[in-house]
Structure 1
Amino acid sequence: MELPESGSHTTANTPAARPSRSLWWLWVVLIAGVVLGVWYFRGSRTPSEAANPSAPATPGRGRGGSGGMGNFVVPVVVAPAQPDDLPVYFNGLGTVTAFNTVTVRSRVDGEIIKVAFKEGQYVHEGDLLVQIDPRPFQVQLEQADGQLAKDQAQRKDAQVNLERYKLLFDEGVIPQQQLDTQAALVGQFDGAIKSDQSQIDNAKLQLTYCHITAPISGHVGLRLIDPGNIVHATDASGLVVITQLQPIAVLFSLPQDDLPQVSTKLRAGAQLTVDAFDRDDTQKIATGKLLTIDNQIDPSTGTYKLKSVFNNADTALFPNQFVNVHLLVDTKHNLTIVPAAAIQRGPQGTYVYAVASDNTVKIHAVTIAQTTGNRVGLSDGVNAGDLVVIDGQDKLQDGSKVTPTVSSGNNSGAQASSNTAPASPGAPAPPAPNSPRRQSGGSRR
């Protein structure tokens, strides 16, 4: 029997043996990973969690909390609570309306010989707008004057004859009927004279209608006529439209639930301030006063209409412009103001994280008295000067160590983070509900 060559029975260097050694190292790595994971999990749990393995782990423990790894410090953004008063606004959607709008029309038929305004020009009441050819009406006036003179002369002659007839009647020369006829003739001429005078007055009136002036002060729009056009009193389009912009009105609506508070203020003689903001509700355009409220509620919408007036000296408001309206109805005094991003909500209520002097956070239950925009007024729970966390709450619990950075004043990012902050210590919370629109106007950005 032939023996195999030396080395032919050794499998250490054969290709079949190499995968077995690779699998062995893979199992070693997996087992080591499991051991490290169990060690890390047990080290990060609190004693109470270790005693109750079925209980869910508490967020905030471990690497980001005060337990587990021990000394991990959470970076947060903070803002100081400040004492202040907070306004209460009722907010609505409004439309700018001209205080007065007039379509100027001709009251006589005739040819336009002059247009005295420029499109878009501001005109004062009584300024000349259009001149219509007055000559036809001047002729009518002269005719009426001539007829009046004729009738006055005839009346005078009839009156002289009447006086003569009276003498003849007294002497018995003429009968009573002839005297009465002459007296009636004088009366006819009296009537003719009155008619002539009315014709003169009418002709003068037609002449004044040829001189068309502005009935109100305001801005004229695009002209609808040109010199040489023939206009008629029956034309529906008119000559030009004048719109009064100073002052100007804004009509807006509010829910009927707001009516008692607003009407009570008006009956007491209060001057309620109204702010008009742009379409984006970010830029204040003008400030005015509430003028009146409508006398009925719209049953289809459950709202009522209000009318406010603005001086509009800079003509920033324009008819039919859409605006957001903020009606100031009250002011809450002596509140502690914090950014809306600081407010957290959970099953235990509303709270904030306040930073203590040792750079640890404490949970403070708070009571919200008023929310206006991104400012929240608290009646208790936080003192003026306390630093409250406005960003980074998702990694915090009571007693967590933090590295605070004071906010520069722009809380837009903090506001966004507050919507995903935990609702209570140790449990995630849904986003804080938005403030009611009717009280969210207040101080803007």
Structure 2
Amino acid sequence: MHIQKKTVLLVVLLVALAALAFWYVMKPVTAKSGAPVAVPVRVVSVVQKDVPRFASGIGTVLSLHSVVIRPQIDGILTRLLVKEGQQVKKDDLLATIDDRSIRASLDQARAQLGESQAQLAVAQINLKRYKLLSVDDGVSKQTYDQQQALVNQLKATAQGNQAAIDAAQVQLSYTRIRSPVTGRVGIRNVDEGNFLRTSDTDGLFTVTQIDPIAVEFALPQQMLPTLQRLMAAPEQALVQAYIGADGTSGEMLGEGRLSLIDNQINANTGTLRAKAEFSNAAQRLWPGQLVTLKIQTALDKNALVVPPTVVQRGLEHPFVYRIKGDQVENVPVVMVYQDSDLHIIKGVSAGDQLVSDGQSRLKPGTRIQVLGDPVAQANVSEPKP
């Protein structure tokens, strides 16, 4: 009997311990199901600012003036007055050609002109005399007419001699080669002492204008209305040239203005050529260089800007999660502009705090926990082209 009581007490004790353990295990679950856990998220604030829009393309740097210096007469190159790579101005003397033969021809033409002018003077005096004598029939009409013809002949001869002088002076001017443009001297092809011919195709060297300079580029034909609008604007559109493969990672070489669009579209490629002009005092743009161009096509003033991660895609329209107290609400938005760096939206206000990370666990009314301090401004930059 005593043993049975001990057994019963032991069973009761074991049951009580089991019940206590079961209650202890189940208590946290009940508490957890009763109070929802806050979802951790990161937030940004909507920023209001002016946002420029850009289009981009690959272009080639071109000189506005590039001249091959060639001789205009045959002769020996006597002097080269510039060095390779030298900056020259328009009308600077570059080289000289042996001019002795041309000067001799010029002196001869001047002597012949003097002779003709002397003969013409005598013939004109005789003509006056014959004219007076013909009044009293002191000389025949035929003699007078012959003298008149001689005067006309000598006048023509004098004019021909003057033309020969002018031609010789032009030839003489060709012996002094001057720069037709302001620019940079290229690599020299001939040295002093060589015999130059007008048929030489290579020329002496080139003179290439570096400042200002142009960049020619191609854009899709769909850009034609935009380019026409930019050309018709009171101020020429801003164009930036970069050395990199895109307009962000590369180094900017200069800023210029859109100056020209071509008068036809390439039917084979569906592209339209255009040209921009750049000031190039630092000579960072070089003829023949390939560059990436960014063209400012528009400016959105007071735009509401957010990072791309903020906007979610809904079945009917894009939306964002806006912070409301310790919960979120679903706000439909309109996409005005988007690229890989930023989105411009409508439907929210400047300063609104929006969820930028953690949206997959959210729905309207979900309690949230903001990780870290709320970001004062969205970390966005100018849009990529």
What's the counterpart of residue 105 of structure 2?
140
Within 5 Å, give how 1:73-112 maps onto structure 2: 74=40, 78-112=43-77
What is the alpha-carbon distance in structure 2 between the residues aligned to residue 162 and residue 255 of structure 1? 79
Provide the secondary structure at the position in 1 that maps to 2:162: helix
Q: 1:379 aligns with which of 341, 346, 365?
A: 346
Provide the secondary structure at the position in 2 that maps to 1:184: helix
**Quick check: 204-213 or 263-272, which moved more?**
263-272
Within 5 Å, give how 1:357-368 maps onto structure 2: 358=326, 363-368=330-335
What's the counterpart of residue 421 of structure 1?
none
2:231–2:259 Cα contact (<8 Å) kept: no
What's the counterpart of residue 204 of structure 2?
239
Tell me the alpha carbon deviations over residues 72-101 of structure 1, each in whole angstroms, 9 at most, x when there is no partner: 864x55443311122222322222221122
Q: Which amino acid aligns with 1:320?
A: G
Provide the secondary structure at the position in 2 that maps to 1:149: helix
**Quick check: 124-133 or 361-370, which moved more?**
361-370
What is the alpha-carbon distance in structure 1 between the residues aligned to residue 33 and residue 175 of structure 2? 94
1:341–1:411 Cα contact (<8 Å) kept: no
TM-score, length basis structure 1: 0.69
Q: CA 1:159–1:411 in 2, change beyond 3 Å: closer, same or farther? A: same
What is the alpha-carbon distance in structure 2 between the residues aligned to residue 215 and residue 243 of structure 1? 10
Q: Which amino acid aligns with 1:404?
A: L
What's the counterpart of residue 252 of structure 1?
217
What's the counterpart of residue 58 of structure 1?
none
Q: 2:305 aligns with which of 307, 313, 337?
A: 337
1:87–1:372 Cα contact (<8 Å) kept: no
What is the alpha-carbon distance in structure 2 between the residues aligned to residue 111 and residue 133 of structure 1? 5
What's the counterpart of residue 172 of structure 2?
207
Tell me the alpha carbon deviations over residues 220-270 of structure 1, each in whole angstroms, 9 at most, x when there is no partner: 211222111111122222222122121111222222333223323433534
Q: 1:287 aligns with which of 236, 247, 255?
A: 255
Structure 1 position 312, deviation (Å): 1.9
What is the alpha-carbon distance in structure 2 between the residues aligned to residue 221 and residue 69 of structure 1? 81
Tell me the alpha carbon deviations over residues 12-33 of structure 1, each in whole angstroms, 9 at most, x when there is no partner: xxxxxxxxxxxxxxxxxxxxxx
1:155–1:186 Cα contact (<8 Å) kept: yes
Q: Which amino acid aligns with 1:201?
A: D
Within 5 Å, give how 1:27-426 maps onto structure 2: 71=37, 74=40, 78-166=43-131, 169=134, 172=137, 175-281=140-246, 282=248, 283=250, 284-354=252-322, 358=326, 363-381=330-348, 383-389=350-356, 391=357, 396-398=361-363, 399=366, 401-402=368-369, 404-405=371-372
Tell me the alpha carbon deviations over residues 319-378 of structure 1, each in whole angstroms, 9 at most, x when there is no partner: 2222222222221222221122333335354234555654x6655443221125502111
2:323–2:355 Cα contact (<8 Å) kept: yes
What is the alpha-carbon distance in structure 1 between the residues aligned to residue 302 and residue 280 of structure 2? 34
Q: Which amino acid aligns with 1:280?
A: A
Q: Which amino acid aligns with 2:54?
A: Y
Identity value in percent: 35
Structure 1 position 294, deviation (Å): 1.9
1:361–1:402 Cα contact (<8 Å) kept: no
2:39–2:362 Cα contact (<8 Å) kept: no
Provide the secondary structure at the position in 2 that maps to 1:199: helix
Provide the secondary structure at the position in 2 that maps to 1:158: helix
2:307–2:378 Cα contact (<8 Å) kept: no
Structure 1 position 204, deviation (Å): 1.3
What is the alpha-carbon distance in structure 2 between the residues aligned to residue 112 and residue 141 of structure 1? 20
Q: Which amino acid aligns with 2:353?
A: D
**Quick check: 111-120 or 343-352, which moved more?**
343-352
Q: Which amino acid aligns with 1:384?
A: G
Tell me the alpha carbon deviations over residues 144-175 of structure 1, each in whole angstroms, 9 at most, x when there is no partner: 11111222222233334444545665565654
Q: Which amino acid aligns with 1:313?
A: A
Q: CA 1:397–1:410 in 2, change beyond 3 Å: closer, same or farther? A: closer
Tell me the alpha carbon deviations over residues 297-333 of structure 1, each in whole angstroms, 9 at most, x when there is no partner: 2222333222221112222222222222222222122
Provide the secondary structure at the position in 2 that maps to 1:234: coil
What's the counterpart of residue 57 of structure 1?
none
- Provide structure 2 residue ranges, at least 5 long, that are not aligned to the other structure: 1-28
Structure 1 position 134, deviation (Å): 1.8
1:336–1:384 Cα contact (<8 Å) kept: no
Q: Which amino acid aligns with 1:377?
A: I
What is the alpha-carbon distance in structure 1 between the residues aligned to residue 324 and residue 372 of structure 2? 13
What's the counterpart of residue 14 of structure 2?
none
What is the alpha-carbon distance in structure 2 between the residues aligned to residue 268 and residue 274 of structure 1? 14
C-alpha root-mean-square deviation of aligned residues, in Å?
3.3
Give the length in aligned residue pairs: 349
Q: CA 1:271–1:167 in 2, change beyond 3 Å: closer, same or farther? A: closer
TM-score, length basis structure 2: 0.79
Structure 1 position 127, deviation (Å): 0.7
Structure 1 position 71, deviation (Å): 4.4
Provide the secondary structure at the position in 1 that maps to 2:371: strand
Q: Which amino acid aligns with 1:388?
A: V
